[in-house]
Every structure is written in C-alpha cells, then in structure tokens.
C-alpha cells in the first residue's frame, strides 16, 4: 500500500444564479481545426457476453475523439447521463464536461486527445433498451443488467478498434470513475494512470437506498404507461442527493408562491424543472439500467495496480468521505485529495479551479 493524502485548500465558489447562464458560443472553425474531431459507431462482436449473465447481440458503441492530433489519449467518463460529447460540441449544451475539459482546461485538449463514448444501456447511440421496455412486470423489460466491467470491456474493444495500445489516463467522475476502476483492474497494461472523482469501489447502502426508491418510482409510473413522468419525479429526487444542503439553503430559502390552490416552493420549482429537462433527453428504460449498474458495481481495489488519484468531496452525500479514504488506502498505488465544494457530488462537473491542480499533478507533462 502506498497511500498519500493531500487536502486542497477549501475554495468556496460563487453561488450560481437560479437563472440559467447565457449559452456559450459554439466552437468556431479555428477551434475545430486545432482540435479535430473523429467519431463513429463501433460494431461489436455478434455476441457480447455480460458480467451478470445474458448477452448483447450485434451491439453498437458510439464514440468521439477530440483534441490535438497525435497527442496522448485520455478517456473522459461521467455520470449515467453523460455521453460521448465531452467537450467542443457543436451545441455547447451537449458538452457535459466543458467546464473541466477543453482548450486550456483542467484536462487540456491542446495537450491531450479526449475520448468519450456512449455507455451501453444509455440513451445515446450505443446499444440500449428500447423505449417502452420498462413495464409492470420488470424494471428493465427484456434488457439485461449491465455492469461497470461490461462498460470496461466495451472500452477495451474500442481501443482495439482505434488502434490504441493504451491510454495515457482515464478521468472519471461518479459512474465514470467506477468504470475507470473496473477497467484498471481488468486491463492494467492499457492505462497509465487513473483519476477517480466521487466514485467508490462499491456503492454505499444509503446511496443504493435512494436510487432504489427512484427506480421504484419509475417502475410504478411505467406500469401506468407514464414512464417518462416517473422519470421526472425520480430525477427531481436524485437532484437532492447530488448537491449540498448549503447550496440549496443559499439558493432556495425564499418564500413559496401560490399556484392556484396550492403553494410552490422555490426548491420544488428548481427540482422539477431539472426533472423535466432530464426526461426530455433520456429514456426511463436507460435510467433504470444504469442506475442499477451503479448499485451492482463492485471492484477489488487491492487488484487495481494502476497509479490512481482519488478525489473526495467532503460534502458529497452519495459517496461518503470515509468510503473514499478507505478506497485510497486499499489501492496499491493510491493518492487521495480531499476538497470542499458547495456543489457536493456534482463538484466533478463544476470545480474547474480546484480540479486543475489535481489533474496537473496526476497527469504530469504529456510525452
């Protein structure tokens, strides 16, 4: 065991406005020339066996590679709502990690190529459950359970397809960090280092409890033919676990407003707006598949020999600080950074200033 613990000074970010920020400008022709984009859909083997039984037939894996041509490749993976458009998307709203990854970012596309892919089971262009698969008798219909190891195997096949012997790093937040750990355990020779933000080697029972309730909400709504309505409610509930009590108190402490015969609270309005937005972009069936995948996640940290930087957020409700301290201690080559963030679990999406130094220390200078 080679554990090094570092604490980054507490940075209290400026509280975001309740109103959405003005949309960023899409990347212009010069940016796209400097950071060429390759993307495609990999046709996987006719039969793709799965960790928990079952198989996928004629599966597809959609991928995207962006950044300085010929530069080392870092795979960037996010939560279950992330997709292959990590940054430099034609529509800036689709670059899910644009605050962290891009030209001059904590993960700098002037120095690295960044690989992303749509998870198996998700709502993107990779293979996933069909709309309407969630029904009254099963949470996922006929679509099989997907594990973090299955996502790791898909990534290994993608590297083969792209002719990449290995990655300079995997940088993963939330579910993406889980997939990164699974890949590093199974394929240590194919990744030089790992950055894991808010991702444990196994889910905490309290986090599983919250997600189990969310899945039950979606399943009950699906039984009534209202799966997407259930998804809105489940996502609203999930948002309360992603952020910190301090942020919600600071942003939504105002008084309720009357809407007809009932009152609507500021935080309620925010949560259900986020739920509605999520339900327009994601399928209920995919949410059930990947939410379950988080709770099925188990890796043996003692077998992850890749040098790993673990980033813990003290205010993270989903992944307790103690769990990530224990993970870092079990890793043969683990290094722990503890940060504070009003954004809680979502700090991996927001804390560009705090993550910049951590990424630099973990990645070093590209070769």
Q: Is 345 a catalytic residue?
A: yes
Among 274, 255, 282, 250, smallest CA distance to 266 is for: 255
What is the full DSSP assignment across 56-75? EES-EEEEEEEESTTS-EEE
Residues 11-45 as b or e (16 or more Cβ within 10 Å = b): eebeeeeeeeeeeeeebeeeeeeebeeeeeebebe
Among 81, 123, 148, 174, the one annotated catalytic: 174
Among 316, 337, 341, 352, the one annotated catalytic: 316
Measured CA distances, 157 to 92, 104, 145 (Å): 29, 30, 19
Q: Is 174 a catalytic residue?
A: yes
- 6's tokens: 């570092």
Which residues in the chain belong to E strands, given as ranges? 4-7, 37-43, 47-49, 55-57, 60-67, 73-77, 101-102, 107-108, 113-117, 169-173, 194-197, 257-259, 262-264, 308-313, 334-339
Among 81, 345, 346, 352, the one annotated catalytic: 345
Please give the DSSP secondary-structure letter assigned to residue 91. S
Residues 72-84 as b or e (16 or more Cβ within 10 Å = b): bbbbbbbbbbbbb
Q: In this structure, are residues 306 and 184 in contact, taking their beta carbons and an 8 Å threshold?
A: yes
Residues 16 and 248: their CA atoms lie apart, in Å, by 11
Positions marked active-site: 174, 316, 345
């Amino acid at each position: 065991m080679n554990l090094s613990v570092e604490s980054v000074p507490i940075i209290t970010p400026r509280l975001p406005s309740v109103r959405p920020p003005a949309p960023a400008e899409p990347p212009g022709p010069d940016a796209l020339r400097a950071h060429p984009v390759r993307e495609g859909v990999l046709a996987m083997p006719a039969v793709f066996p799965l960790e928990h039984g079952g198989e996928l037939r004629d599966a597809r894996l959609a991928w995207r590679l962006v950044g300085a041509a010929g530069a080392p490749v870092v795979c960037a993976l996010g939560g279950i709502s992330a997709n292959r458009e990590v940054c430099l998307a034609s529509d800036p709203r689709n670059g899910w990690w644009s605050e962290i990854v891009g030209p001059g970012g904590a993960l700098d596309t002037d120095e690295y190529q960044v690989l992303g892919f749509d998870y198996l089971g998700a709502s993107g262009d990779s293979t996933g459950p069909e709309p309407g698969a969630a029904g009254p008798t099963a949470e996922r219909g006929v679509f099989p359970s997907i594990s973090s190891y299955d996502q790791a195997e898909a990534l290994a096949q993608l590297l083969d397809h792209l002719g990449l012997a290995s990655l300079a790093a995997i940088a993963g937040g939330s579910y993406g960090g889980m997939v990164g750990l699974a890949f590093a355990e199974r394929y240590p020779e194919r990744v030089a280092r790992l950055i894991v933000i808010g991702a444990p080697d196994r889910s905490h029972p309290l986090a599983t409890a919250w997600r189990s309730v969310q899945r039950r909400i979606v399943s009950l709504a699906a039984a009534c033919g209202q799966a997407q309505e259930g998804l809105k409610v489940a996502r609203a509930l999930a948002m309360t676990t992603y952020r910190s009590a301090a942020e919600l108190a600071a942003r939504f402490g105002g008084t309720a407003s009357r809407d007809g015969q009932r009152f609507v609270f500021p935080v309620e309005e925010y949560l259900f707006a986020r739920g509605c937005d999520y339900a327009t972009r994601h399928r209920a069936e995919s949410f059930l598949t990947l939410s379950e995948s988080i709770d099925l996640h188990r890796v043996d940290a003692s077998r992850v020999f890749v040098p790993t930087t673990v980033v813990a957020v003290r205010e993270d409700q989903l992944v307790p600080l103690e769990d990530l301290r224990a993970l870092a201690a079990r890793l043969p080559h683990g290094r722990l950074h503890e940060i504070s963030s009003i954004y809680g679990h979502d700090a991996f999406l927001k804390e560009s200033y705090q993550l910049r130094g951590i990424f630099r220390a973990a990645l070093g200078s590209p070769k």
